[in-house]
């Protein structure tokens, strides 16, 4: 299966985004990435990565691997259509 240029660019963009999130989330300062008021990802006190989301009620998922946590966070972002790329025509 061959990829066209737009697929290659999209994949590279996704890898860059994943890397950027991993750098921020594994920094010793314990940064949190929040999108709107309903979705956040950070590192918990025990070193795991936490994704919190509010739909009807607050939920929290914990991950040992930063890439798994970021994938989950970004999938939720797409599902909930959060972010200015979804909010502006």
Number of separate domains in the chain: 1
Cβ-defined contacts of 48-56 (< 8 Å, 24+)? 49/25, 51/76, 53/80, 55/80
Residue with more model confidence, 7 or 70 = 70
Instruction: Quote the mean pLDDT of the chain.
Output: 91
71: nearest Cα among 24, 7, 5, 19: 19
Q: Is residue 48's pLDDT more than 60?
A: yes
Which residue range is the domain that position 42 belongs to?
5-87
Q: Is residue 85's pLDDT more than 90?
A: no
Q: Is residue 63's pLDDT more than 80?
A: yes
Q: Is residue 40's pLDDT more than 90?
A: yes
Q: Write down the pLDDT at residue 1.
A: 53
């Amino acid at each position: 299966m061959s990829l066209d240029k737009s697929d290659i660019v999209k994949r590279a963009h996704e890898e860059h985004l994943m890397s950027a999130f991993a750098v921020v989330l594994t920094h010793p300062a314990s940064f949190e990435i929040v999108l709107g008021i309903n979705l956040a990802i950070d590192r918990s006190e025990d070193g795991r990565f936490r994704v919190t989301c509010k739909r009807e009620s607050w939920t929290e998922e914990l991950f040992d691997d930063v890439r798994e946590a970021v994938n989950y966070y970004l999938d939720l972002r797409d599902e909930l259509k959060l972010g200015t790329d979804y909010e502006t025509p």
